[in-house]
Amino acid sequence: MEKEIIDLRSDTVTLPTEEMLEAIKHAKLGDDVFGEDPTVNELESLAAQKMGKDAALLVTSGTQANLVSLVSNTKRGDGVILEAESHVFYYEVGGLSAIGGLVPITIKGNMGVLDPKDIEAAIRPKDIHFPETTVVAIENTHNRAGGTITTPDQIRAISEVAKARGLKLYMDGARIFNAAVALKTDVKNFTKHVDNMMFCLSKGLSCPVGSIVVGDHQFVERARRVRKMLGGGMRQAGIIAAPGIIALEKMVDRLEEDHRNARLLAEGLAKVNGIKVDMRIVQTNIVKFDVSDLGVTSGTFVFMLSKRGVLSLPFSERDIRMVTHRGIEKEHIEKALAVIEDIAYDVRSKKVN
């Protein structure tokens, strides 16, 4: 019998629903570069409406969405204020500098949330020696902080600083629907405070591919040109858009199940001798935990888990990340916890090499 794999590495491993696969088969198609794919047009219209913005643009990935958006908000040589461990800065191959010609100005946040006073202090004065600071970029939810939320009130406070200094406020909202579901509020309460943003279809919303950029008409038209420049112009892209429509119409509310499972996982981990969990940061579907008290590195512990069929990712020498998503049920969490408890016991008892 094939061993069951419990994949908690990321919500990017979700598979499309049967309804999504059927929608791909039957999607009405056209050439999107000519603006003639009706399914893409429908998705973009729906996404703009959901986010309370004028227009939207389908792109291939979250990384492309962030690069397209930052380039569309700036000119080469500009400075961009970012949280020090933001996805844009940490995981996107330096694209904002290598391709966008932008200078990252990093600030350490509190559980991923930027303090408006720190933003104010980081804005460079207008001086011939300095890059001009033109954008503040926030991440919501914040991946490396553990899926933490920047609340609408916190975004509003950041927006007030940005507007007062003539800066654009951009949001990497890859998991923004997780934030909205967790706080039981309309996603527009987050988006109304930002000039433009992106969100992913291919994480908790279960689409096979794709992200969406939203903003005003002028911004989205510029983003469309930048997307083309980066090789992101797509033709019969309705096969990507069709599952996206289903995701926005039917897959948002079920994220609450992922949050319940993440909480169950975190509470179980906190009971394991030698494992530490900061429950303050268990706010959505990401759980980060520290195994250093067991006397092993996170990489070693992740390897031992994988041999028992539980997949996760090392986040540092001490920390491991697990992410809940569609396809992970309560029973999988309970099985994963049993495996973790067994391995932790063996490590404490020196029964492993």
CATH number, domain of 162, equals: 3.40.640.10
What is the rounded CA–CA span in Å between residue 180 and residue 194?
Answer: 15
Cα-Cα-Cα-Cα torsion 212, 216, 221, 223, nearest 10 degrees, comes to: -50
Identify whether 201 is part of a domain. yes
Distances (CA, A) of 136 to 79, 115, 172, 195, 255: 9, 12, 11, 10, 28
My answer on whether 330 and 216 are in the same domain is no
Domain that holds residue 283: 6-12+254-348
Query: Which of the residues in the chain have pLDDT under 50?
Result: none
* pLDDT of 196: 98
Residues 141 and 289 in one domain: no
Q: What global pTM score does this model have?
A: 0.96
Indicate if 237 and 281 belong to the same structural domain: no
192 and 289 assigned to the same domain? no
**Are residues 268 and 246 part of one domain?**
no
What CATH code is carried by the domain that includes residue 318? 3.90.1150.10
49 and 171 fall within a common domain: yes
- Output the pLDDT for position 13: 97
> In the listed set 185, 215, 250, which residue is the last one of a domain according to the structure?
250
- 254/164 Cα distance (integer angstroms): 38
In a domain, 144, yes or no: yes
- Given this model, what pLDDT does residue 259 score? 98
Q: Are residues 241 and 185 in the same domain?
A: yes
Residue 262 and residue 158 share a domain: no
Judge contact between 96 and 90, C-beta under 8 A. Answer: no
pLDDT digits (tens, 9 = 90+) for 106-123: 999 999 999 999 999 999
My answer on whether 288 and 146 are in the same domain is no
Enumerate the β-bridge partners of residue 199: 212
Q: Are residues 233 and 274 in the same domain?
A: no
For the chain, the domain total comes to 2
Q: Is residue 227 part of a domain?
A: yes
Residue 353 forms part of a structural domain: no
Residue % of the chain over a pLDDT of 90: 97
Q: How far apart are CA 190 and CA 113, in angstroms?
A: 14
User: Given this model, what pLDDT does residue 310 score?
Assistant: 98
pLDDT digit string, tens, across residues 221-274: 999 999 999 999 999 999 999 999 999 999 999 999 999 999 999 999 999 999
Last residue in a domain, options 250, 268, 285? 250
